[in-house]
Amino acid sequence: MLERSKAAYEEALRYIPGGVDSPVRAFKSVGGVPPFIERGEGAYLYDIDGNRYIDYVQSWGPLIFGHADKETLDAVCEQAQKGLSFGAPTLLETELAKEIVELFDNIDKIRFVSSGTEAVMSAIRLARGYTGRDDIIKFEGCYHGHSDSLLVSAGSGAATFGNPSSPGVPADFTKHTLLARYNDLESVKRCFEASANIACVIIEPIAGNMGLVPAEEEFLQGLRKLCDEHGALLIFDEVMSGFRASLRGAQGYTDVVPDMVTFGKVIGGGMPVGAFGARAEIMAHLSPEGPVYQAGTLSGNPVAMAAGLSVIRRLKANPKIFEILEARAKGLVGGFKKIADAHGVPLQVEVRGSMFGFFFNENPVKNFDDAKRSDLEFFARFHQEMIKRGVYFACSQFEAGFICEPLDEKLIDETLEKIEEAMKKLV
Ligand code: KE4
């Protein structure tokens, strides 16, 4: 089934660390050979052995219209004919900026970069420059890209200050990062008691990097209040949830208004794009208007902008797509829950718009500690059985799943049949 991928992986291992350009792709937590992908088409991935998969990952979120959708490809090809990059302003950047800014009262200006990591790293630097403070608060289980000050694991015991979670990150780089527990306001209050120097609180308002775990409204309200009381900025990292949970991301679910928002994935339509936005008086601190430096050779790349414009304009013209995709996501996880119950397999499920998550867990998952109590061994076996049956779920319990426009009810039903087959094998 995966002979050519196996050979390709062995070859890749000779030239690329772990054979991959991003660790999660190596399938380490689920085992087996990662299929090497030949092409994508609509809801399907095709690997180099000719296997076809119903794809619930969609490049970790960007492809809400599925693989190789005509409109996005046409926009990319048309723009590419004019040249790939100029390192100079183009109309496309302003057009995409307007399309996004118009959706959010709390965003007057936005800056494009080339990844979610870059967007979050820049947003934090701006928050520090704007407030003149150095410390930041993040949450265990939230991932905001791989910039140094965000690669932080929980400190020992009740310590709020984090330790580097990766070699190569000097302790000095993380001593300004305080860690709190998701959906636990007391833990955030402890951070504000531990430092009077908090520049910002950054959160995935709908967490997708510990599995899918939405922040509770009361918790978000509490964060807003604490930030206001202490003069810290509240940053929503919507790199994943933006244009996936709703047309306005998590802001479509909460009354809480963040000071800054980061975007990525969908706004690039599969091309490398990240962005961060805020009200004008914050963004005015950013170079060249203000002193906070931030730059990028391919920031606002015209081909990437053309892809993003094609996707964002279609979503804005057809916002009902989020209800349609949410109904399909609910159909999937609802059917999955019925099958798991029938086989006596503990399962927690969650949906937010076109995002879904499931945990093999006895109890509801409210934070990263809960998520880590899931049955990771069963998840790995389930993932392998589904790959064998042509269903490509995220290769880690600590990821979210996605529904794209061409992934219709027929494919959801087909997936549920395969889940039933897998459960019969596993239980
Ligand atoms: P990138 O630098 O990978 O474009 O974005 C970093 C990032 C920032 N914020 C959030 C909320 C994110 O989910 C991400 C990246 N998401 C992961 C998926 N869990 C990307 C997949 C990968 O690392 O290969």
Q: Which of 263, 291, 317 is the last residue of a domain?
A: 317
Q: Are residues 48 and 179 in the same domain?
A: no
Q: Taking a C-beta distance cutoff of 8 angstroms, is the pair 305, 99 a contact?
A: no
Catalytic residue list contains 370: no
Beta carbon of 240 within 6 Å of any ligand 1 atom: yes
Nearest one of 122, 125, 130, 166 to 148, comparing CA atoms: 166
Residue 343 is predicted with a pLDDT of 98
Ligand 1 atom with least separation from CA of 237: 11
Place of tokens 């300004």: 176
Query: Are 203 and 242 found together in one domain?
Result: yes
Q: Is 204 in the pocket of ligand 1 (CB under 6 A)?
A: yes
pLDDT for 155 equals 59
Residues 6+ away with beta carbon under 8 Å from 311: 64, 65, 72, 243, 266, 267, 269
Distance CA 361, CA 377 (A): 12
What CATH number is associated with residue 411?
3.90.1150.10
Residue 101 CB less than 6 A away from ligand 1: no
- Is 410 noted as a catalytic residue in this protein? no
> From the CB of 209, is ligand 1 less than 6 Å away?
yes
DSSP type of residue 247:
T
pLDDT tens for the chain, 427 residues: list them: 899 999 999 999 999 999 999 999 999 999 999 999 999 999 999 999 999 999 999 999 999 999 999 999 999 999 999 999 999 999 999 999 999 999 999 999 999 999 999 999 999 999 999 999 999 999 999 999 999 999 997 656 666 777 888 999 998 888 999 999 999 999 999 999 999 999 999 999 999 999 999 999 999 999 999 999 999 999 999 999 999 999 999 999 999 999 999 999 999 999 999 999 999 999 999 999 999 999 999 999 999 999 999 999 999 999 999 999 999 999 999 999 999 999 999 999 999 999 999 999 999 999 999 999 999 999 999 999 999 999 999 999 999 999 999 999 999 999 999 999 999 999 9
Are 313 and 324 contained in the same domain?
A: no
237 lines ligand 1 (CB under 6 A): yes
Residue 61 is assigned to a structural domain of this protein: no
Q: Are residues 396 and 412 in the same domain?
A: yes
Per-residue pLDDT, 11: 98
- CATH number of the domain enclosing 309: 3.40.640.10
Torsion-angle region of 18 (φ positive above 0: left; ψ -120 to 50: alpha; else: beta): left
Terminal C-alpha separation, the chain = 24
Q: Report strand pairing: 391-392 vs 37-41.
A: unpaired
Q: Which of 9, 143, 182, 392 is catalytic?
A: 143
Measured from the Cα of 238, ligand 1's closest atom is 11
Of 47, 55, 184, 237, which one is the catalytic site residue?
Answer: 237
362 falls within a domain: yes
Return the half-sphere exposure (C-beta side, CA atoms, 13 A cut-off) of residue 244.
37
φ, ψ of residue 131 to 5 degrees: the values are -90, -20
CA dihedral 370, 223, 276, 397 (to 10 degrees): 0
Ligand 1 centroid to residue 421 C-alpha, Å:
32
Structure tokens at 42: 């609509």
Cα-based distances in Å from 119 to 201, 234, 308, 358: 15, 15, 16, 28
Tell me which residue of 62, 60, 68, 64 sits closest to 42, measured CA to CA.
68
Q: Which residues of 199-216 are buried (b: 16+ CB within 10 A; e: fewer)?
A: bbbbbbbbbbbbbbbbbe
The counts of H helices and E strands in the chain are 13, 18
CA distance 161 to 299: 33
Examine the residue annotation and report whether 253 is marked as an active-site residue of this protein.
no
As a residue count, the chain comes to: 427
Query: Does residue 120's CB lie within 6 angstroms of at least one atom of ligand 1?
Result: yes
Q: Are residues 35 and 136 in the same domain?
A: no
The whole domain housing 28 covers 3-56+320-426
Buried/exposed code over 122-159 (b: 16+ C-beta within 10 A; e: otherwise): bbbbbbbbbbebebbbbbbbbbbbbbbbbbbebeeeee
Q: Whose CA is nearest to atom 21 of ligand 1?
A: 60
Identify whether the C-beta of residue 352 lies closer than 8 Å to the C-beta of residue 245.
yes
Tell whether 282 and 403 lie within a shared domain: no
